[in-house]
Amino acid sequence: MLLFLQLYAAHLVADFLLQPDWIARDKRKLSTLSAHAGIHFGVACAFVNLGLNRSVLAAIAVLVLVHVLSDYLKAALSSDSWLAFSVDQAVHLIAVGVTSLWLATSSWSQLFPILATVAKNKDLYLIAAAYVAVVFGGGFFVQKVTKSFLDQLGDDTKQLKPGLPSAGKYIGWVERFLILTFVIGGYGDAIGFLLAAKALARYPEIKEDEKGHFAEYFLVGTLTSVGLALVAGLIVIRVRAFF
């Protein structure tokens, strides 16, 4: 665990604190990638410090190579979107985890059984299924539930609905993700702050709707979304306790 934390902390420092703009702008050039790789290698060696030996240095070099290859593919094959950024960071995290396990077990023959044990962990699949179902599947369900109410709103009331493309969808994703995380993690009190912040953000639209139709539409969507996340979180807790 210590080695993983050292390598991942080094990754975060090198990728966010010590990455100048001229590197971040274009990672398709060999000179830029080489400079980025050098920073990552130096920071990783500094963080691991007393544990350095030939095996660790070789592992860090491979880790850095994987890192810059991922950065190159992101720059060459995708736009600078949040999804590409998230996938790239997930690749880096997995690479650090595998490298840490490899060094901790000293050989690949010992690493594979550990990975197999992780892959067979039922909690992993239970939680992954819950997040995908609630965050993304729940979005489709909320959309279908609220559509009939949205159709009943007058044109003047519909104008109060925020017009940023897909903003509501992303807000719903984040909302359900956070609530499910709070429930599973045992931090249910934080849900109140989240809902209060959302209500404050929608207060101007609710206030301008004298008939209260927008407020009812907002409540239907919010309660459906929040209810899904709450119920799913409680189910995950019960299932984990039962099995």
> DSSP of 33-59, one letter per residue?
HHHHHHHHHHHHHHHHGGG--HHHHHH
The residue with tokens 């992993």 is 124
Q: Is the pLDDT of residue 210 over 90?
A: no
CB-based contact 121:242 (threshold 8 Å): no
Q: What is the pTM of this model?
A: 0.66
Among 214, 95, 87, which Cα is nearest to 150's? 214
Give Cα 144 to chain centroid, integer Å: 25
Whole-number pLDDT of residue 211? 60
Classify the phi-psi angles of 209: left when phi > 0, otherwise alpha if psi is within -120 to 50, otherwise beta: beta
Whole-number pLDDT of residue 137? 92
Per-residue model confidence as pLDDT tens digits over 97-121: 888 887 876 555 666 676 677 677 8
Per-residue model confidence as pLDDT tens digits over 165-204: 567 788 889 999 999 999 999 888 888 888 888 777 766 6
Q: Interior CA angle at 147 toward 149 and 217, to 5°?
A: 40
CB-based contact 220:149 (threshold 8 Å): yes
CB-based contact 221:142 (threshold 8 Å): yes
Spans of all domains in the chain:
2-119, 122-242
Whole-number pLDDT of residue 179? 94
Q: Interior CA angle at 136 toward 157 and 231, to 5°?
A: 90
Cβ atoms within 10 Å, residue 86: 10
Structure tokens given for 128:
């992954």
Classify the phi-psi angles of 118: left when phi > 0, otherwise alpha if psi is within -120 to 50, otherwise beta: alpha
Structure tokens given for 62:
């491979």
> How many angstroms separate the most distant Cα atoms in the chain?
73
Q: How many residues does the chain have?
A: 243
Per-residue model confidence as pLDDT tens digits over 115-139: 677 677 888 899 999 999 999 999 8
Per-residue model confidence as pLDDT tens digits over 144-174: 888 777 667 655 555 555 555 567 788 889 9
